[in-house]
A and B are shown apart, each in its own frame.
Chain A
Amino acid sequence: MSRANLDAAFAAKKHHLSPFLVLGDPTPDISFELAKKAIELGATMLEVGIAYGDPSADGPAIQRANLRAIAAKATTPVALGVMKRIHEAFPALPMNLLVYGNLVHARGFEAFVQDALDVGASSLLVPDILFEEGEQLREVCKRLGLGHAELAGPLTDAKRLKRLASTIDAYLYLVAFQGVTGARTGGSDAIGELVKRTADRIEVPVCVGFGLSSAEHVASVYDAGARVAVVGSHLANAIEAGINAGPLGKGKHVVAAFEKAFAPLAETVNRYA
């Protein structure tokens, strides 16, 4: 079961770099190519999202990525199909699925979790089903064997953090900024302190995302104790630049722009054990 991929990855290697890709952005085929390229460059985990028309926790870059995937008709089954291709090509790769609650709710919890397992998902994070409302979904994940992650933010207090962590069996996704997703510049010190404080308080692996856009950001979250750095908006911006660079075709420009944005970050992680 793919849940084991995540445990194996954490056991094998301390620091992981995980691109976030909206499945189907800009097309299902190109999004598969992007996943391949990311792994070739050194990604050791993948965070994937199913496009949603109302992504209220995301900033402009990821919102546009969602809309591009929707325009490319990347419905839930199509997105899961892309995951399946990735899983078949890289059977040991942990794939962490991030999906808005209404898509999970519309399918039914049990059916959705089973679908995710069938295409090789290791874990599930639903950013808008709050911990207090998540008991039923957590129960289904646990019963069927899909890893379960929770979000925490800069304002999540110690007591709540421990409560969240006590139910997690995948990782804690720490949002590095109080706000929505978006590539930011500067601010490494504040992120570092937050990550350290969080990682010190809980036992489960800490994954940091929301706004990491440079090798320096990635290095600073690793140094502070994070096991996974997720890069999303920075790559969505690159995909957009690639789309604007020329005809879409088989995605030559998009893959090139993606590589240019991701390679320097991948080099950082390769320096870490």
Chain B
Amino acid sequence: MSHESSLMPRKGAFGAYGGRYVSELLVPALDELEEARKTIVRSSSFKREFRETLREWAGRPTALTYAANFSKRCNMQVYLKREDLLHGGAHKTNNVVGQGILAKRMGKTRIIAETGAGQHGVATAMVGARLGFETVVYMGARDVERQAPNVKRMQLCGATVIPVTTGSQTLKDAINEALRDWTANLGNTHYLLGTVCGPDPFPRLVRDFHRVIGKEAKQQWADRVGGLPRAVVACVGGGSNAIGIFRAFLKDHDVDLVGVEPGGRGLESGEHGATLQKGTPGLLHGARTSVLQDEFGQILEPHSVAAGLDYPGVGPEHAHLRDIGRARYVSVTDDEAIEAFETLARTEGIIPAFESAHALAYAMKAVALGDYEPGTRILINCSGRGDKDLDTYRKLYGHRIGGAAQAKGTES
């Protein structure tokens, strides 16, 4: 591939990434949102409402947990930032609360969102209910089938779930469809994008709503442990939980920032979602970023056992952090993630999301890889809880649970 290496984005650029690669028809909506980001989001009354809602409705601050037993398995000292304890079960809630309050103050009456596994859809439906929006969630038809419990949750909160039957019928097609809806309805509608991707100003807007993760963790670490962690580790699909926790440590150059990508069935298999390690620069969903694509620029379907990491692009800021060497990106396979999922459940009584299990799986092999000395203190973002993954786990790996579990899960 001889991609256009000289292209430098202008709007909201992170080095050679970011920008606004959308149709002219979206300009009024993006300009309006950028203006709101500069005025409303920076106002003290917005900040107060955001902080109070996170505290009283969403349950912040979340705990910092020393995982003593899991640490032994890793041969390191592992601290978990417990975003799994946040209302809704994942860090996603930070962003939907921020954008929800913002949309309300912009005078919008309708919010739309894309969702893959359904977590961002559920979070959007929750905030839509709380703030009184008409809520529409686009979800690939294949995902609607695979994630039926989350569809029910969204509907219970009053959202309309629209199955997307075009293209590959997964997350990327849901984003395309949400962009189309927004183009046609930008007067009354806010597109509540779920990760640090998309056209400017979304990557910065979403990042800023997730900064609270790292800010809290850094303070908790200083109070409880002292000093700074040697490394901060988070999983990366679109990359919002990782940016949220990395951001507070960006200028602490002794702290390694490690993003863990979904290695799926192995980086050499072609069936993975390791966009930063195997992707090339491209334009996807409004940004120039690292993209999984073929030689002609057609977007490829990624693979991961974790539906939330199953995305062919990545937040442009991550591509920049990679290029400048400030963050390092590694991968673990589906099987390694599942092993970490089981290990954390058995050693700590915490069932992490498959996505978060990727970050945990890296910790389990980091010493063996020679990346860190035994006993190193690291901070891992436990970005979500794994209840949503139990059906998938039972179907794919049920034979590994002892006792009453079904060997093949065929009863479902």
User: A residues bordering B, Cβ < 8 Å?
Assistant: 52-57, 59-60, 63-64, 67, 70, 75-77, 101-109, 111, 127-133, 135-136, 150-153, 155-156, 160, 164, 175, 178-180
Contact = CB atoms under 8 A, between A and B. Distances in A.
Interface in B268-327: 281-286, 288, 291, 293, 295-299
Contacts of B7: 105, 109, 133, 136
B296 A75 contact: yes
**Listed residue (A57, A101, A105, A107) with the most chain B CB atoms within 10 angstroms of its CB:** A105
A138 B127 CA distance: 43
A53 B298 CA distance: 6
B299 A101 contact: no
A236 B75 CA distance: 61
A220 B1 CA distance: 45
A136 B298 CA distance: 22
12 contacts: A52-B297, A54-B285, A64-B166, A75-B296, A102-B291, A105-B282, A106-B295, A132-B10, A155-B25, A175-B24, A179-B25, A179-B184
A102 B283 contact: yes
B85 to A, nearest CB: 36
Given A56-B180, A178-B186, A107 B11 contact: no
A54 B167 contact: yes
Given A128-B22, A130-B24, A180-B184, A102 B9 contact: no
Contacts of A164: 24
A128 B41 CA distance: 28
Contacts of A108: 2-5
Contact of B4 (A63, A77, A109, A152): A109
> 9 smallest A-B Cβ distances: which pairs?
A106-B297, A179-B184, A151-B24, A102-B297, A153-B25, A56-B176, A103-B297, A57-B23, A102-B283
A158 to B, nearest CB: 14
A151 B25 contact: yes
Contact of B299 (A75, A102, A152): A102
A184 B156 CA distance: 34
Given A63-B166, A102-B293, A103-B297, A151 B23 contact: yes
A129 B286 CA distance: 9
Contact of A180 (B11, B180, B282): B180
Which bracket fits the contact residues of B? 35 or more
B172 interface: yes
A81 B19 CA distance: 32
B27 interface: yes
A53 B299 contact: yes
Given A54-B299, A102-B293, 19 more contacts: A53-B167, A54-B173, A54-B284, A56-B179, A57-B23, A57-B180, A64-B166, A67-B166, A76-B297, A105-B3, A105-B283, A109-B4, A129-B21, A130-B20, A131-B24, A135-B10, A151-B25, A152-B24, A155-B186
A105 B25 contact: no
Contacts of A128: 21-23, 283, 286
B298 A127 contact: no
A228 to B, nearest CB: 17
